[in-house]
């Protein structure tokens, strides 16, 4: 790598010439990141410094010296990534296992961030399904099998939610069903099912979004990207458990064939749902994936989705949210997030919340009653499609997965926050 800036990390303050509590200093040898309480500790300092070096247009960096540990190196990559430029990073010397882990994270998170940042014209429902399948198949060609169900075949097979949400677009909705079976035994029990929301563009449908809210809606497939990435990272780490993956992919557009307010969707499990808001479409497609997952009787079911603005209002964009009717299921997700240094917060979900999505014409409505908590009632809707009303299930509302504008830690766009949590959940349970 030519014209590479050497960057070291130290715990000592910069010389006064660089200013009080300076984060960065420079010399003929390169740049020095000064980690301290004032600069947020090693990982935060590394990520902020990476953003500043990217902002200066530094195209290539090599991490040097013995001040770097694995998490500070990883934080630097998270901040140095820029969707507009192909910044090059050398991890430097270190333990072989740590370097392999960093390379696995980079490969996985780069796919997650790039597919999420891709334009909605480039990333259609089928393209998303095919890209995820290809990425996972390349990782484990002998252990991964998959099929993509699309268009009218979705309706024929009873996947009514994905079909109804996606029928307003000229580009057909699609469902990826993927089986990671490391032992190659078709009779082996399924340990986990992962379900991801893959709305490749969300106009809101007839409940149309204002332009400011619609501008980032290419990212509404972040849940599908996240569960695919979580499985990929777990496979790279040597996962030997059987996992089935369901991506529920569609474009939510307005047309003469689009679904409408007042429509009633009848699902495979017999539950009927009245559409009172076409902008609450994520839960409608996830229901199909959860029904399919429940039929496999796995030990655990986890779904992930950029599901509600309410979750972002509750915790901001630094945390993802977890909801479950079971303390144990929620705790396992929180423990996984803690081990992987990703911020996750539990939001309330109780059985009485299932009564807060009433409909006068169907079993449930796809939005909560006036005054009800938005993120919670969205999760309550999902419960109706999980075996035994929520057994062994948790839901991740990915409030921290996308940055609509750049900050001192993240470039604009997808962050990939949640991939490591999902991978660790698969590994540890």
What angle, rounded to 10 degrees, do the helices at 282-295 and 374-383 form? 30
Interacting residues of 38 by C-beta distance below 8 A, sequence separation 6+: 21
What DSSP string describes 347-404? Answer: ----GGGGGGS--SSSSEESSPPTTS-HHHHHHHHHHTTSGGGTTTEEEEE-TTSEES
For residue 370, which phi and psi values (nearest 5 degrees)?
A: -55, 135
Sole residue written with tokens 């010389």: 15
The string over 337-371, giving b where at least 16 C-beta atoms fall within 10 Å of a residue's C-beta and e elsewhere, is beebebbbbbbebeeebbebbebeebbbbbbbeee
Alpha carbon 53 to chain centroid, angstroms? 27
Sole residue written with tokens 């109706």: 384
Residue 209, token pair as written in the block: 């979004």
Q: Where are the beta strands (DSSP E) in 38-90?
A: 60-64, 88-90
Interacting residues of 27 by C-beta distance below 8 A, sequence separation 6+: none
Catalytic site positions: 209, 283
Sole residue written with tokens 């557009």: 253
Residue pair 73/46 in contact by the 8 Å Cβ criterion: yes
Q: Is 85 helix (H, G, I), strand (E, B) or coil?
A: strand
CA distance 321 to 23: 31
CA distance 78 to 81: 6
Under the phi-then-psi rule, with left for phi > 0, alpha for psi from -120 to 50, and beta for the rest, what region is 287?
Answer: alpha
How many Cβ atoms from other residues are within 10 Å of residue 189's Cβ? 11
The angle subtended at Cα 67 by Cα 65 and Cα 71, nearest 5°, is: 120
How many Cβ atoms from other residues are within 10 Å of residue 21's Cβ? 12
Distances (CA, A) of 146 to 72, 177, 180, 233, 247: 37, 6, 9, 18, 11
Residue 73, token pair as written in the block: 């190196």
Residue 256, token pair as written in the block: 């003469």
For residue 393, which phi and psi values (nearest 5 degrees)?
A: -130, 145
Residue pair 289/248 in contact by the 8 Å Cβ criterion: yes
């Amino acid at each position: 790598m030519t014209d590479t800036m050497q960057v070291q990390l130290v715990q000592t303050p910069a010389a006064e010439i660089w200013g009080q509590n300076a984060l960065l200093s420079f010399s003929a040898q390169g740049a020095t990141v000064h980690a301290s309480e004032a600069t947020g500790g090693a990982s935060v300092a590394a990520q902020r410094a990476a953003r500043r070096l990217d902002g200066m247009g530094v195209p290539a960096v090599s991490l040097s010296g013995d001040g770097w540990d694995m998490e500070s190196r990883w934080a630097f990559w998270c901040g140095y990534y820029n969707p507009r430029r192909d910044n090059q990073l050398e991890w430097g010397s270190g333990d072989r296992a740590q370097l392999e882990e960093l390379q696995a994270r980079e490969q996985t998170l780069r796919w997650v961030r790039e597919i999420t940042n891709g334009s909605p014209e480039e990333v259609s429902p089928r393209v998303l399904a095919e890209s995820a399948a290809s990425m996972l198949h390349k990782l484990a060609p002998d252990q991964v099998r998959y099929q993509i169900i699309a268009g009218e075949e979705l309706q024929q097979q009873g996947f009514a939610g994905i079909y109804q949400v996606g029928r307003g677009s000229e580009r057909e909705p699609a469902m990826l069903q993927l089986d990671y079976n490391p032992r190659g035994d078709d009779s082996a029990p399924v340990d986990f099912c992962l379900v991801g929301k893959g709305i490749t563009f969300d106009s809101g449908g007839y409940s149309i979004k204002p332009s400011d809210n619609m501008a980032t809606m290419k990212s509404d497939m972040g849940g599908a990207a996240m569960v695919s990435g979580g499985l990929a990272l777990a496979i790279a780490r040597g996962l030997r458990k059987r996992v089935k993956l369901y991506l529920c992919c569609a474009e939510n557009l307005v047309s003469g064939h689009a679904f409408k307010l007042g429509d009633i969707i009848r699902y495979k499990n017999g539950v009927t749902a009245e559409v009172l808001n076409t902008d609450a479409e994520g839960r409608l497609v996830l229901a199909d994936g959860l029904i399919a997952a429940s039929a496999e009787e796995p030990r655990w079911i986890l779904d992930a989705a950029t599901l509600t603005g309410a979750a972002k209002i509750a915790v901001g964009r630094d945390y993802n949210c977890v909801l479950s009717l079971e303390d144990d299921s929620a705790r396992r997700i929180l423990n996984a997030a803690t081990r992987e240094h990703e911020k996750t917060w539990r939001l309330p979900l109780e059985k009485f919340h299932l009564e807060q999505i009433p409909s006068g014409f169907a079993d449930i409505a796809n939005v909560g009653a006036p005054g009800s908590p938005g993120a919670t009632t969205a999760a309550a809707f999902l419960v109706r499609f999980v075996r035994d009303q929520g057994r062994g299930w948790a839901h991740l509302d990915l409030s921290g997965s996308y940055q609509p504008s750049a900050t001192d830690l993240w470039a604009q766009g997808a962050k990939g926050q949640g991939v490591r949590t999902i991978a660790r959940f698969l590994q540890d349970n």
